[in-house]
Amino acid sequence: MFQRYVPELLRHTPVPSARGFAVLAGTEAVARGMMISVFPIVMYRAYRDSSLVSEIYFVIGLVSMCWGLLVPWLVRFVPRRWLYTGGALCYLASACIAVLGPPEMIAAALSFSMAGTVTIFICFNAYVLDYVASSDLGRCETLRLFYSAASWTLGPAGGVWLLQVWEPAPFLVAGSSALVLLGLFWWMRLGNGKLITRARAPTPNPVAYLGRFFAQPRLIAGWLFAVFRSCGWWTYIVYLPVYAIENGLGENVGGTVLSLSNAMLFATPVMLKWVERRSVRLAVRTGFLCSAAAFLLAGICGAWPWAVVILLMLGSAFLVLLDIVAGLPFLMSVKPSERTEMSAVYASFRDVSGILSPGAAWLVLLAAPISGVFAATGLGLLASWVMAGRLNPRLGWRMAKQRTPGSVAAVPAQEP
């Protein structure tokens, strides 16, 4: 009888939709957006050596990749909802370690944060593939970025500012947002996803589903696009703040320019409409070519710090375009029966880029200044532009009379 006094919003479980997943992703972005500019600065404060910071990121990336590949195997024993919960608790553990531990423990805090990111990313993509139609994936990705825009815009600069006011402050904000994320996830009651068919055999081990992945060239190409796009962001997020500090621009520059670049997320609906009138192939190639040119020029102009900052900000605008479209070749090719396994493979792009970027930077820094890292990243993005030339020109394109507003749809894809 008290039901009439309960708000309508709380009486009914929300139906999983593109907008609901966007809200979930936007809440997670509060924690990640705050930490993304804080960790490189705190790491550099603790160790005072850009090469050592690269080594630490390299090792943590290896551990994180191994963890990500084990997540589908863990689904056999741990329901997906509990894995997602564990990922959110990793964010909370990271914040606690950073606040309560000595400065040397910041690497452990980063490890928990990256483990939480990869766990939540795998589960999130599996839920999206369960509940969102393939023709709505583009809209879902755009809404996810749009709802995350405020966190990614205010978080980096706000995190650096809070760090200077009171060092534990950004970690406390991140930990609190992880608790909100956890509450929102359980309120949405996503459970363990949809059951497509009754399993006839045990869940395959990592080697088995990696074999199926390598047997599908479309998935390999889509995954590589995600890897090199992520390498661009890794360089921008980690090495631009270090470059700014080493060249006398101060600690605020890294967080400020990252916030300005992330403000481009508000333009993602406009970018999506531009993509819809063309094709995924053209959008992917445009993003990789323009970002590659900006990073290469930044490497060449290493002696002029502000020129480097401006060029990298320009390149980041095209990385935002790639955030919308570079993952679609992979997501549009996944079989329904392989959603969890292939979500784990796709999520590994973060860890591979987290190994590749600091590993390459480590080698570059042995013989060149930090601006050489920007040039090396530009070469990787240029290689992706060449590879994207083999995509089906009609991928993600519909005739005007068949197009649904706000969506990017897949047509039958050919071998890239």
Tell me the pLDDT tens digit for each residue of 346-373: 767 877 888 888 888 888 988 888 899 9
pLDDT at 339 (0 to 100) = 63
Give me the amino acid identity at 7. Answer: P
Tell me the pLDDT tens digit for each residue of 179-217: 999 988 988 877 666 543 344 444 445 556 677 787 788
**Phi-psi domain of 404 (left: phi exceeds 0; alpha: psi -120 through 50; beta: other):** beta
**Tokens (6 digits) for 89:** 């608790």
**Tokens (6 digits) for 33:** 């957006």
3-state secondary structure 85-108: HHHHHHHHHHHHHHHHCCHHHHHH
**Distance, CA of 128 to CA of 188 (rounded, Å):** 13
Q: How many CA atoms lie within 13 A of 321 on its CB side?
A: 24
CA torsion, ordered 285, 291, 294, 299, to nearest 10 deg: -110
Tell me the pLDDT tens digit for each residue of 37-52: 899 889 888 888 878 8
Could you tell me which of 379, 371, 295, 361 has the C-alpha nearest to residue 56?
Answer: 361
pLDDT at 300 (0 to 100) = 94
In order of start, what are the domains of the chain with their CATH numbers? 14-192+204-396 (1.20.1250.20)
Name every residue whose Cβ is closer than 8 Å to that of residue 182 and which is 6 or more positions away in sequence: 85, 88, 89
**Tokens (6 digits) for 236:** 């921008």
Tell me the pLDDT tens digit for each residue of 221-263: 888 999 999 999 989 988 998 898 888 888 888 888 888 888 8
Mean pLDDT confidence for 78-92: 92
Q: What is the pTM of this model?
A: 0.72
User: Are 348 and 230 within 8 A, CB to CB?
Assistant: no
Name every residue whose Cβ is closer than 8 Å to that of residue 122 and which is 6 or more positions away in sequence: 68, 71, 72, 83, 340, 343, 344, 347
pLDDT at 219 (0 to 100) = 83
Give me the amino acid identity at 318. Answer: F
**Distance, CA of 337 to CA of 315 (rounded, Å):** 37
pLDDT at 410 (0 to 100) = 33
**Distance, CA of 407 to CA of 139 (rounded, Å):** 5
* Helix, strand, or coil (residue 326): coil
Tell me the pLDDT tens digit for each residue of 274-315: 877 777 888 899 999 999 999 999 999 988 999 999 999 999
**Tokens (6 digits) for 253:** 């520059």
Specify the higher pLDDT residue, 380 or 134.
Answer: 380
User: Are 51 and 99 within 8 A, CB to CB?
Assistant: no
pLDDT at 106 (0 to 100) = 92
